[in-house]
Amino acid sequence: MTRVLVPSGALGLGYDREALDRGIAARPDIIAIDGGSTDSGPHYLGTGTSKYSRASTRIEWAGLMEARARAGCPLVIGTAGTCGADSAVDWLVDITREIAAERGEAVKVAVLKSGQIAGDVAAAWQAGRVTPLEVAPEVDATTFAGCTNIVALAGAEQVQAALATGADIVIAGRTTDTAIISALPLQNGDHAGGAWHGAKIGECGALCATNPQSGVILIEFDADGFTVHPMADGARATPHTVSAHMLYENSDPFILYEPGGHLDVTGAGYTALDDTRVRVEGSVWHPSDRYTVKLEGARQAGFQVVSLVTVRDAHYVANIDRWVADIAAKCRAKAEARLGTDDFGIELRVIGRDATLGALEHAAGTAHEVGVLAIVTAPDAALAGEIAKMLNPYLLHYPLTAEEEVPTFAFPFSPPEMSRGMVYEFCLNHVMTLDHPMDAFRLDVVEVG
Amino acid sequence: MARLGDVAVKVRSKNAGPFWVTIDIFCGSAKAFDRVRAAITAERAAEVLQTPTQTLKRFEIPDLKVVKLSIPRPAVQGTVADRDMHGAALGALMAEVEI
């Protein structure tokens, strides 16, 4: 039997303190929390930074370090600092040092890094050991060096190696969401299908139960399966809430690929033990012949400057398609002539009509006002800024006909141009074959406090 | 005729990684589930989502009374062409489909 306490779906989202205390009273064998995902976009991996506030992260992490000391069990975080790049891991290690010093607590920290050297991944690709998943971007020999960060997703084996150091705290770079939860049950010989399935159910904390905001959930793993037990007062897990979580952010609700194999939950049975707990058995783990880890990479995709103008004049709202098309064409021609390049993008999205869905929109809009989000993308910041400034007179005064008095449109800000800085894009959806699980990862142990 | 969102209990969408988006249609009752699974065929969904049927994945989960659709994202998450970072809006689009 292995008890894994999951305080919330991610560090930075908050957790219910009373529920956490209840979880500690249940004597967990490990506390496991996720630190991120790709879900907030490529900026974080591109820059190697965290999405969440440092102050929030520090307060929540201090609470977990204190709970860990009380529980006397390891605390593990995966995908530290949102993206799990080495710089984001260092960021959380620094926060850990500050907290340990403040608490006067000596803590042994295992630091597992997932960052990849571009040349190593390129060599693996040349050797046929980097292969695309379904719907992967095209890759060539230059792709890897073009990434600002590449990470490999660690699985249970690498987390187990970190735990084997005897560390009080494991701070891991990019891991699969599930690996930090499944690692200890698998090491203890609990049911493998149950370990991965329970890990998937628990990876978002109490999202698999009622009262999902409470965060805290306890998963008990054993030789036959697992039991889900939400810790917040009034929170309940039901067969429906638990099984429905397999749908969440999964393209396939029955199969989950992980380093070293895949989970199949087609035959899983979900049973209510009482009003709050659910028992799950019947999921199957299929080990694979090759040991592969997924790669994520982000690269620079130009500088962006955006402007927002709102249009309230009914005549212009009714003819907004023509208005934005004219402006984009005229501004493009002017910028090409004056700046001597056509290597840039100008896109005007009409908020109130189809800004969200684009070509997929099927509603015919009759909004009384629309917003126009003007997006300029160019290879460097100066060029993006120049083009955005050339765009401004059009957004401010462009008339639909030459005869009419010059119109003026509404800007919420001055200056109207807002620099988004460098933008990034994900450019890998591949797996890399390893001879040994630790080949692409690095493990260090540091004493803090 | 009724809108899918009026027949189902909930229609939601979300990224399934940066390259896929998934839509979950929670039908609530066996009757609604039967109606939805007959109406929302892979071909119908592909038409609404303007995506090839070959890469559309469609699942029926009778225990949950759910029909689930997964497609390659219309634009890879976070690229310059992407309009919806979390894939949040396709659920609203599907919910408006007449069945």
Each residue's pLDDT tens digit, A167-224:
999 999 999 999 999 999 999 999 999 999 999 999 988 788 887 777 899 999 999 9
Same domain, A269 and A366: no
**In what helix (H) or strand (E) does residue A23 lie, and over which residues does it extend?**
helix A17-25
Tell if the CB–CB gap between A377 and B90 is shorter than 8 Å.
no
Question: How close is the nearest chain A Cα to the Cα of B80, in Å?
Answer: 8
* Residue A149: other Cβ atoms inside 10 A: 26
Is residue A119 included in any domain, yes or no? Answer: no
Residues A107 and A62 in one domain: yes
Q: What's the residue count for chain A?
A: 449
Backbone angles phi, psi at B69, to 5 degrees: -125, 130
pTM as predicted: 0.96
**How many domains does one find in chain A?**
2
Helix (H) or strand (E) holding A8: none
Cβ contacts of B85 on chain A, cutoff 8 Å:
40-41
Tell whether A271 and A409 lie within a shared domain. Answer: no
pLDDT in tens, B38-68: 999 999 999 999 999 999 999 999 999 999 9
- Do A100 and A195 lie in one domain? The reply is yes
Q: CA distances (Å), A333 to each of A21, A36, A327, in order? A: 64, 43, 10
Closest by Cβ to A42, choosing from B50, B74, B78:
B78
A139 is a domain residue: no
Q: Which amino acid is at A177?
A: D
For B22, the closest of A251, A349, A356 (CB atoms) is A251
CA dist., res. A158 & res. A164, Å (int): 10
Residues A80 and A223 occupy one common structural domain: yes
What's A377's domain CATH number?
3.30.70
Q: Which residues pair with A78 in a beta bridge?
A: A34
Q: What is the DSSP string of A71-133?
A: HTS-EEEEEEEET--HHHHHHHHHHHHHHHHHHT--EEEEEEE-B--HHHHHHHHHTT-EEE-
How far apart are alpha carbons A8 and B83 in whole angstroms?
29
| Spatial separation of the C-alpha atoms in residues A110 and A166, rounded to whole Å | 8
Query: From the CA of B73, how many Å to the nearest CA of chain A?
Result: 9
Q: Does residue A73 form part of some domain?
A: yes
Give the pLDDT score at A208: 81
Whether residue A302 sits in one domain with residue A235: no
- For B8: left if phi > 0, alpha if psi spans -120 to 50, otherwise beta; the answer is beta
Q: Are residues A351 and A271 in the same domain?
A: no
Q: Angle CA(A386)–CA(A388)–CA(A389) in degrees, nearest 5?
A: 65
pLDDT at B84 over 90: yes
Contacts 24+ apart (CB under 8 A), A392-395: A392/A307, A392/A416, A392/A417, A394/A327, A394/A330, A394/A331, A395/A307, A395/A309, A395/A327
Stretches in chain A below the pLDDT threshold 70: none
Three-class SS string for A324-385? HHHHHHHHHHHHHHHHCCCCCEEEEEEECCCCCCHHHCCCCCCCCCEEEEEEEEECCHHHHH
Question: Cα separations (Å) of A131 from A17, A110, A125, A262, B20?
Answer: 44, 30, 7, 17, 18
Task: Write out the DSSP string of B15-69.
Answer: ESSTTEEEEEEE--SHHHHHHHHHHS-HHHHHHHHT--GGG-EEEEETTTTEEEE
Residue A173, both tokens: 């770079």
A271 in the same domain as A183? yes
The whole-number pLDDT of residue A214 equals 73
Range of the domain at A105: 2-114+153-291+434-448
**A187 shares its domain with A325:** no
The edge-to-edge listing of strands for the beta sheet with B66-72 is B10-15, B20-26, B66-72, B57-61
ipTM computed for the complex = 0.95
Q: What is the pLDDT of residue A252?
A: 95
Residue A187 lies in a domain: yes
Residues A421 and A315 in one domain: yes
For A116-139, the pLDDT digits (tens) are: 999 999 999 999 999 999 999 999
Triad B79, A372, B94: Cα angle to 5°: 60
Pair A24, A159 in one domain: yes
Contact A425 B76 (CB under 8 A): yes
- The answer to whether residue A120 sits within a structural domain is no
Using an 8 Å CB-CB cutoff, list chain B residues near A347: 80
Q: Which residue of A has its CA nearest to B28?
A: A240
Q: What phi, psi does A213 have (nearest 5°)?
A: -65, -20
Helix axes A86-103, A54-71, angle to 10 degrees: 60
Residue A232 lies in a domain: yes
Q: Is residue A129 one of the residues assigned to a domain?
A: no
> Structural domain boundaries of chain B?
4-95
Do both A172 and A253 map to the same domain? Answer: yes
Q: In this complex, which of B16, B78, B90 lies closest to A426 when CB atoms are compared?
A: B78
